Structure 1
Amino acid sequence: MADIAVRHRTVEVDGITIFYREAGPVDAPVVLLPHGYPSSSFQFRHLLPALADRWRAIAPDYPGFGYSGLPDPSRFAYTFDAHANLLQRFVDTLGLTRYVVYLQDYGSQLGLRLAMAAPQRVAGLVIQNGDIYPEQHGPKYEPLKRFWRDPTDEGREQLAAAIGEEGFRREFLGELPDRLADRVSPDLWRLSGALVTEPLRRDAWLRLVADQGSTVAWFPRQQEYLRTHRPPTLIVWGPHDGYMPEGAARAYLRDLPDAELHLLDGGHWLLETHLDEVVPLVRDFLDRVQP
Structure 2
Amino acid sequence: MIPDAGLDEIQVKHRWLDLAGMKIFYREAGRVGAPVLLLPHGYPCSSYEFRALMPRLADRWHLIAPDFPGSGYTDTPDGFRYDFDGFADFLDTFTQKLGLQRFALYLHDFGSQIGLRLAIKKPHRIAALVIQNGDIYEDVLGPKYEGLQEYWRNPTAEARQKIADAVSEEGFREEFLNEVRPELAERISPDLWKLHWSLMDERRRKIAIDVIAKLRENVEWFPRYQQYLRDHQPPTLIVWGPQDGYMPEKSGRAYLRDLPKAELHLLDGGHWLLETNLDEVVPLIRGFLSRFHTA
The TM-score normalised by the length of structure 1 is 0.97
The answer to whether 1:157 aligns with 2:161 is: yes
> Following TM superposition, by how much is the alpha carbon of 1:249 offset from its aligned partner in structure 2, in angstroms?
0.6
Superposition CA RMSD, Å: 1.0
Deviation at 1:14, TM superposition (A): 3.3
Residues 1:9 and 2:9 aligned together: no
Residue 81 (structure 1) shift:
1.8
Matches for 1:1-291 after TM superposition, within 5 Å:
1-2=5-6, 3-72=9-78, 75-196=79-200, 198-291=201-294
Q: Distance in 2 between matches of 1:148 and 1:71?
A: 28
CA distance in structure 1 between the partners assigned to 2:265 and 2:175 by the alignment:
23
Assess if the C-alpha contact under 8 Å between 1:138 and 1:245 holds in 2. yes
Unaligned runs of 5+ in 1: none
- For 1:50 and 1:151, how far apart are their aligned partners in 2? 44
3-state SS of the aligned residue for 1:160? helix
Deviant stretches of 4+, over 4 Å: none
The amino acid that maps onto 1:273 is: T
In structure 2, C-alpha distance between the alignment counterparts of 1:243 and 1:47, rounded to whole Å: 23
Residue 287 of structure 1 deviates from its aligned partner by 0.4
Measure the CA separation in 1 of the matches of 2:114 and 2:94. 12
Which piece of structure 1 moves more, 17-26 or 144-153? 144-153
Distance (whole Å) between structure 2 residues aligned to residue 204 and residue 158 of structure 1: 15
Tell me how many residue pairs correspond in the alignment: 288
The answer to whether the 8 A contact 1:20-1:61 is kept is: yes
TM-score (norm 2): 0.95
Identity, % of aligned positions = 60
- Structure 2: give runs of 5+ residues left out of the alignment: none
Q: Which amino acid aligns with 1:44?
A: F
SS in 2 for 1:156: helix
Q: Deviations over 1:84-137 (max 9, x none)?
A: 211111112112111000000000000111111111111100000001111000
What is the CA–CA distance in structure 2 between the aligned matches of 1:215 and 1:266, rounded to whole Å? 26
Q: How far apart are residue 203 of structure 1 and its match?
A: 1.4
d(CA) in 2 for partners of 1:241, 1:67: 27
Report deviation, 1:152.
2.1
Distance 1:285 1:162 in 2: 37
For the 8 Å contact 2:85–2:117, the answer to whether it is kept is no
**What's the secondary structure of 1:89's corresponding residue?**
helix
